[in-house]
Amino acid sequence: MAQSKYDWLDKEIAAIKTHKFHVVDGPADRKFRRAVMNPSASAPRSYKDFVVRFGNAELYRQDGFDLYWVTVFASLRETETNGGEALLWFGKNDMNGAFFKPALLSGEAESLVFEWIGASGYLRKTADGFEPWFERCCRRARKEYNKRRWSEILGGPEPFTKGEKRIVQARKRFRWNVVGVAKNKNLRFEVHNGSKTRLAYLSIGIGGAIDGGIWLPVEHIGPGETQIVEFDCYKKFAAPDEVEPYELPDPIPEDRELYWEFRALD
């Protein structure tokens, strides 16, 4: 069987035992494949081939963050520049959005790739097509991990210790609600410790206008107690009513660095 241009990625995904390092939907079903490969759907063939093979893809998870160096969307998203120029957003190179220009698309022929450089920056051509853009981004991302770290990623994370398992079980029994805004614009959280122990921190996700997370100091809240904890939820960047705290899922071993609960064990 002839080798596909993306066989290397399939092999890399299969070799890595850190399951969230590469996250892909997997091969498209028949209906989605037919829609993507329809000749009337104008998009570069290399992009179409990737989408029907992997779907949405988040690749090369960044150490210490729930972010990825390379992202590809399974469908093109219409947008435009501040000046009104039409763009088709297909992915990200770290924090830079990656786009095709509809005016340059011609059937399934390769088309130039442009990236938006910086939060309020400018549009710049960065590749002559999707495939060279994707391969360059992946090569650069791979260089973020030294030999020792790459070996750890391939082998997968160490399982939770007994102490870490106790933390996972304890945080399941914590409950919290946002109950108001303090005068200094910090959010006020009512936190209940329903466990039989204390945690140093309680990690909480932040959505809305900000994509991030916080760590409430809760060591002073004993088993069975409920107290108010005030915390700065990115108030320099968004108003209190623009952020949306949400409960994080139970951690797994490869998420250690993302949950402050485990830092008390260091």
Domains of the chain, by residue range, sit at 7-155, 162-265
Per-residue pLDDT reduced to its tens digit, 224-240:
999 999 999 999 999 99
Helix, strand and coil content of the chain, in percent to the nearest 5, comes to 30, 30, 40
The answer to whether residue 1 scores a pLDDT higher than 50 is no
Give the per-residue pLDDT at 190.
98
CATH architecture type of domain 7-155: 3-Layer(aba) Sandwich (3.40)
**Spatial separation of the C-alpha atoms in residues 256 and 258, rounded to whole Å:** 5
CA dihedral 178, 180, 186, 189 (to 10 degrees): -30
Judge whether 217 and 177 are in contact, CB under 8 Å.
no
Mean pLDDT of 86-109: 95
Considering the entire predicted model, what is its pTM?
Answer: 0.84
* The 57-61 sheet, strands edge to edge: 22-24, 57-61, 68-80, 86-93, 96-100, 113-117, 122-127
Per-residue pLDDT reduced to its tens digit, 158-215:
999 999 999 999 999 999 999 999 999 999 999 999 999 999 999 999 999 988 899 9
